[in-house]
Structure 1
Amino acid sequence: MIKCLSFVGTGPLNPARYTYQNMTCDSNIIQKALTDFFHPDTITLFVTGKARERNLSYVINSLDCPSVSVIDIPSGNSEKEMWDIFTIIAREVAADDNILLDITHSFRFLPFLAFLTSLYIREVTGGTISGILYGAYESGEDIFDNTGEKRRISPVINLTSFITLVDWMMAVRSFVSFADARGIRNMIQNHTRSAAIQEQTDPETSLDDNIVQFAESLHTFTSSVQLARSIEGTYAASRVLKDLNHVQTKIASEIPPLGPVLGKISDLQSYAGIISSMSCWEHLEKERAIITYQVHNGLYLQAAELAREWMVSAVICSAGFGAKKLKENIRNEAETALHSLVRKMKHQHYPVTGIIKRLEKKEGWEEVATIWISITHIRNDLAHCGMNEVFGNSRTLEKQVCEIPEKLKRFFEIIRG
């Protein structure tokens, strides 16, 4: 259902010629013009006490709409009244509503409040905002109509595009704060499709391939981080930076909301690399950076899972088997060596292998065993979702996970030394 939400003002209702695209409407009442232009199923008029007294009857008498409702709102002279207005507007929107928001006669703070309320409603109810409309009476010039009456040409301006700025803000926030580029990818895809439609070309064949590829690469990187795929993550970060070189100038000029975040995207250099062109130690540094990135973005389970596997890889590199670090038998041997180190520390019997012999010679091997115990415990507690007789509470686990990057740094120093 198309629903127009409009505010009745308290000022004079001057003769105007409202225009929208190629349509015109001669009327003193903006709501009359909006019904002619957009044909809403219903109009809801929000009125203060003064607006009801001065102008409401004139507005209602001018309307030709199947359904008109009048809702009283306070004047907004206090913070409580502002929240009351928010609640009143919010009650008027349902999930399947297609909203036209007219802010022409909303006074003082009301345009701002109505806009934010509509955005909030959109997120909560799933309703659609198809138009934020403003009849710009003050911007036009005076004319005389065919009856000789003086009127002001008043273009109806659709401010709906500013909604996308909020969407961009949310998409950027998801990337910066939560390592999630799905929003940016979707916004870029929508932008390129809209641009193609405006240029009257086929949106499926005329998308900017470079920008689309950049969006996909960024999404691949954050997906690999969220799924703890560090090898794919380092490669994806490299691809993002390569693609960024092709689109940086175009993004700055055509997608301004994304411009400020390009610096954050450039920071992916810390994680970027092609495994075939890096030493085992270099790749471990990249992976450790990804683990730190996971921790900073609240991906605690992923960080703990990857940290445990990272320690196994570090032992393999230390033993000189870096080229085979993905081989199952090599990983099993390295993992067994770490468990053996723990048994040695506890003065228990353990199997002697080539890798354990190397570890035993490290100055600080006991610290290596202690870090292995700590991170393995964190990882197991998280992976088993606390379904153990003894488990850590959430706050304790969060604190422990946040300490993982420093523990891995120390682990790395000992193993490589």
Structure 2
Amino acid sequence: MSRRIFVSFLGIGGKDGYTPAIYKSWRKDGCDSKKETRFVQKAIVELYPKTDLDKIVIFVTKESREKNEKALLEDLKELGVEPEKIEMEEISADVSNLSLTWKWFESLQSKFNNGDSLVLDVTHGFRMVPVVFSAAVAYLKRVKNVHLESVLYGAFEISGHPIVELKDFYTISDWTEGVGRLVDTADASFLRKTAEKESNGSFAGLNNKELLDSIEDLTSAFRNVELQNIESKARNSLDLIEKFKKQSGGDLERQVLQMIVDKFQPLVSEPPLDGSYSLDYLKLQLRLIKMFAEYNLYMQAFTAMNEWLGSLGVFLMKRGNKYRFTSRERETSARRYAAVFLNMLQHPDDFKAKSEDDVNLKASLDEAYKTLFEKYTTLAEIKELLDQSKKIRNGFNHGWTGVHRKGAPKDLKEKFNNAMTILEKIVEKIGDDNG
């Protein structure tokens, strides 16, 4: 069973110890501590209340223990806290010995089991304690799946003595990691997990099901090489993100959303694609293929290259006017032509027709095939590209991608760049023709 554990630090205070104060709650529920106390720990335990805290861990030094431990324990006893719930953990105040400082880290993480919740009071975190314990909190969240519920600071020096919630500053790393994974690996799962766990605070606006669903829909289409769907899904997602940017109440949230826009904007065509196998469609697909390589998704990149060559045949045959990937019926027809055209490129001397229908489709594509090699590229270039693509895709399929394995494809990046040069040259020459 998971527990809620309150962790705090007990300092020395001034010459006469800590000055009594009535602390105001960090929650906006109008409930403040009922009477003065010298210890912010007592106010926090009272406001939780104590029955919601399964364990209280107070880190002390030898000096703070001698000066304040007895009084603090008496105050907690006054609230009705059972003594067995309280654990005083002594740590060294010698910050010159790094091995002793590491023991702070080890001591904190040893108090938690997987899935516990942490309520952290940093009011009297002295010297290097805030730095070390911030790192420890990050460790607990990742390794032990500890939920950081609150990070509290008793602002005695401010009028009214408010207890301030600082958790947002500890969860910024989660939000940046979530967005970082999204833009670096096209994985939206950590962003969704963070949004669902951290439903309040500066980034609360990101916890929107419609927004998260659209982002996941986009990344799913990307990773699954849904070439015909990616532009519309990217447009829908980015339009929604722009809408949320305008509604957002904070600069940080807008910056996070802009990072997503900047990364996936290349997948949106301007003007929007009309669903035809057009030159704009071919250009967009090349941008998508480049993005696969940026994510080191080379198998997807070379798979998309093969698909692109098939689409090129449809474009050259009818200039893309008749066949549309937005129409199920026309898309099916177009994909049959694309498959046959790719077959023609793969087998220039021994075309392998699977049916009589393929023979007829080939006849319709002969002019496109002739145009490709007369005006835009050479048979040798396409043959080299397809041979490399086959080897690399087979390598991924059979786990031969490690350079240490015999027969493994090597220099993936170089081979990809060489292939992209061929495809980009084709598009450039077609563009010159359309002038």
TM range, normalised to the smaller chain?
Answer: 0.7 to 0.9
Q: Which residue of 1 aligns with 2:76?
A: 63
In structure 1, how many angstroms separate the alpha carbons of the residues matched to 2:421 and 2:399?
27
Q: CA separation of 1:235/1:159 partners in 2, compared to 1, >3 Å: closer, same or farther? A: same
* Letter of the structure 1 residue corresponding to residue 59 of structure 2: F
1:23 aligns to 2:32 (yes or no):
yes
Greater CA drift, 271-280 or 31-40: 271-280
| Conserved? CA contact 1:340–1:356, under 8 Å | no
Q: CA separation of 1:319/1:391 partners in 2, compared to 1, >3 Å: closer, same or farther? A: farther
Q: Which residue of 1 aligns with 2:6?
A: 4
In structure 2, how many angstroms separate the alpha carbons of the residues matched to 1:301 and 1:387?
10
| Conserved? CA contact 1:378–1:401, under 8 Å | no
Q: Note the C-alpha offset of 1:81.
A: 3.7
Q: Note the C-alpha offset of 1:121.
A: 0.4
Q: Secondary structure at the match of 1:106?
A: coil
Q: Note the C-alpha offset of 1:373.
A: 0.8
Counterparts of residues 402-413 of structure 1 (less than 5 Å): 403-413=415-425
| Conserved? CA contact 1:169–1:257, under 8 Å | no
Greater CA drift, 115-124 or 352-361: 352-361
**TM-score under structure 2 normalisation?**
0.76
Q: Note the C-alpha offset of 1:385.
A: 3.1
Q: Which residue of 2 aligns with 1:392?
A: 408
Greater CA drift, 47-56 or 364-373: 47-56
* Letter of the structure 2 residue corresponding to residue 9 of structure 1: G
1:120 aligns to 2:116 (yes or no):
no
The root-mean-square deviation of aligned C-alpha atoms, in Å, is 3.4
Q: Note the C-alpha offset of 1:376.
A: 2.0
Kindly provide the CA deviation profile for residues 118-165 of structure 1, in whole angstroms up to 9, marking residues without a partner as x. 23202221222222121211113xxxxxxxxxxxx5322222233442
In structure 2, how many angstroms separate the alpha carbons of the residues matched to 1:188 and 1:100?
19
In structure 2, how many angstroms separate the alpha carbons of the residues matched to 1:314 and 1:218?
29
Counterparts of residues 353-392 of structure 1 (less than 5 Å): 354=366, 356-361=369-374, 363-386=377-400, 391-392=407-408
Q: CA separation of 1:41/1:320 partners in 2, compared to 1, >3 Å: closer, same or farther? A: same
Matched residues, number: 382
Q: Note the C-alpha offset of 1:371.
A: 1.0
Q: 1:107 aligns with which of 126, 129, 154?
A: 126
* Letter of the structure 1 residue corresponding to residue 63 of structure 2: K
* Letter of the structure 1 residue corresponding to residue 346 of structure 2: H
Q: Note the C-alpha offset of 1:101.
A: 0.8
Counterparts of residues 2-401 of structure 1 (less than 5 Å): 2-11=4-13, 12-20=17-25, 21-24=30-33, 25-38=35-48, 39=50, 40-64=53-77, 65-66=81-82, 67-75=85-93, 76-140=95-159, 153-184=160-191, 213-251=210-248, 253-254=249-250, 256-262=252-258, 264-266=260-262, 268-273=264-269, 274-277=272-275, 279-320=277-318, 322=320, 323=323, 326-327=332-333, 328-341=335-348, 354=366, 356-361=369-374, 363-386=377-400, 391-392=407-408, 396=410, 399-401=411-413
5+ residue gaps in structure 1?
141-152, 199-206, 345-350
Percent identity, aligned pairs only, is 20
**TM-score under structure 1 normalisation?**
0.79
Write 1 or 2 for the structure with the bigger share of strand.
1
Q: Note the C-alpha offset of 1:96.
A: 3.4
Q: Note the C-alpha offset of 1:194.
A: 5.2
In structure 2, how many angstroms separate the alpha carbons of the residues matched to 1:413 and 1:60?
77
Kindly provide the CA deviation profile for residues 23-59 of structure 1, in whole angstroms up to 9, marking residues without a partner as x. 3142212222232222122211212233233333332
